[in-house]
Amino acid sequence: MEKLIKNELLGEEYYEIDHASGLKIFVMEKPDYSGTFAMFGTKYGSVDTCFRIKGEESYTSVPEGIAHFLEHKLFESEELDAFERFAKTGASANAFTSFDRTCYLFQCADNWQENLEILLDFVKAPYFTEETVLKEQGIIGQEIRMYQDDPDWQVLFNLLRGLYHNNPVRIDIAGTVESIAEINAELLYSCYRTFYNNSNMALAVAGNVKKDEVIAIADKVLKKEEPVYYEQIIPEESDSAVTDYTEEDMGVDMPKFAIGYKCIPVEKDTVRDNLITNLALDVLLSKVSPLYCRLLDEGLINGSFGKEYFNGRGFSCLLISGESNNPEKVRNEIAAEIKRLQSEGISDEDFEISLKRMYGRDVFLFNDTDSLANNLVDSYFNGFGLFDTLDLYKSVAKAEVEAVIREKFNEKGCCLSVIK
C-alpha cells in the first residue's frame, strides 16, 4: 500500500509506503541529484529504560545505556561487520543513539541499491554472544570516560541533571561504566525484539533513487513481523528545577554555559507547539535580535552561541548555550529581556521577520538529501508529515508566540550550568 504526498507550492513530493513486512518506508526521488542518503531508525532511545510488552504483568527495567550499547553491537556479525561491507561499496556509513531514537544511515554517490540491502540486512540480523558483549563493555567504557572529559558534553548533562529530578533524560546516553557492566546478551535480545520490530521502525531514502527499486530491495531482505505493542513508564516530574546553578571545573580556556528552562511536555498538536516555540526562541535570540546584538557587542557571547527547543517523550525544555567570561550576566540579561517581552509583547515587525526567516530556513532544507531523510523519519516518529510544518506557517498568530514566552520561560524551572 502506498500513497504519493505532494506540496504544490514547493513542487516537492514523496512516497509513503506501508510495506508488507510491517515497516513504514518513505522515498523521495531526486533524479537530478548525484547522491543518495538513507536512514533506518527505531523509536527507541536512552530514556526507554522501563517497558512492558502488552499482555505481560510486570515491567522490565534495563540498565542505563543499553540502547546505545545495542547500536554498537548491531554492526557486528559472524563474518564481516557492517562497516567493512560498506567500505567495499564506497559508502559512508554511521549510526547514532539519541534520547528517544536510534538510527542507522549511509550516504553514497553510487551503488545505492547494494548499500540499501546492506543497511536493511545488518540492522535486522542481530548477533550477540556473551564474549562479544564483554569485549564491547570495555570499548564503550572508554567512550564513556572520553565523554566525561568533553566540556561540551558535560555542560549539557550537568544542566539536565540540574533540571530533572526523575526523568532518565538526566542520564548520559551511553550510561555509566557501572550500568553497562550489567548488560548481557539476553537483555540485548529482549530489547531488540521489543523495539526493533518493523512496526516500531521507519526507513527513509532520498536522492537519485527509484521507489519501485527501494520496495524490491525491502521485499528481498525484510520478513513480515507481527507488531509488538509495549508500554513505557515515564516518571513524574515537577515543573521546578533540581537546582538553579551547577558548575564544574575542567580547565577550559573560556567558561562554557548552558541555560535551561524546563517546560511541561506537550502531548497533542506537537508540530504546532514545536513551530511556535521555535518562533519564540527566534524572536528572543536570533542573530538579528536586539538582545543577541547587545550581548555580542558587549563581549558577553561569541559565535558559539546557540538555542534549541529540546523535547521528547516525557521531557521538554528550552536550551541556550555558548561561551562567556560572565555566564551569570548572560542569564540575567536573557531573563530581563524575557520579562520585557512578557510585559510589552512582540512587535509586528519582529514577528514577521522571524516567521519569514524560519520559513526560508525550512524550505532550504529540501535541498539536502540528508536533511530530507532525517526529517522524514523524525516527523513520522513524532506523528506528523514532512510538509505539515510548512503548511502551518500561514496560520500562526503573534499571540501564540507571546503565550509561549509567558508560559514556557518558567523561572522556577530554570538552571544555569557552567564549565569553568
Q: Contact, 34 vs 63, CB < 8 A? A: no
Distances (CA, A) of 309 to 145, 163, 263, 288: 28, 15, 10, 19
Could you write out the three-class secondary structure of 73-132? Answer: HHCCCCCCCHHHHHHHHCCEEEEEECCCCEEEEEEECCCHHHHHHHHHHHHCCCCCCHHH
Cell of 152: 561540551
Using CA atoms, how far apart are residues 339 and 345, in angstroms rounded to an integer?
Answer: 10
Would you tell me how many other CB atoms lie within 10 Å of the CB of residue 36? 24
Q: Which of 346, 21, 70, 11 minimizes the C-alpha distance to 193?
A: 70
Q: Contact, 242 vs 165, CB < 8 A? A: yes
Q: Which of 103, 102, 101 minimizes the C-alpha distance to 93?
A: 103
Q: Contact, 39 vs 119, CB < 8 A? A: no
Q: Which amino acid is at 58?
A: S
Q: Check if 57 is active-site.
A: no
Q: Which amino acid is at 300?
A: L
Using CA atoms, how far apart are residues 122 and 221, in angstroms rounded to an integer?
Answer: 10
Pick the catalytic residue from 71, 76, 323, 337: 71
E strands, 235-388, in order: 245-248, 256-262, 306-312, 315-323
- Residues paired with 7 in a beta bridge: 12
- Residue partners of 151: CB distance under 8 A and separation at least 6: 250, 252, 256, 419
The strand order across the sheet containing 201-207 reads: 2-7, 12-18, 24-29, 201-207, 36-42, 102-108, 92-97
Q: What are residue 209's phi and psi, to 5 degrees? A: -130, 170
- Residue partners of 368: CB distance under 8 A and separation at least 6: none
Cell of 134: 564483554
List, by residue number, the catalytic residues: 71
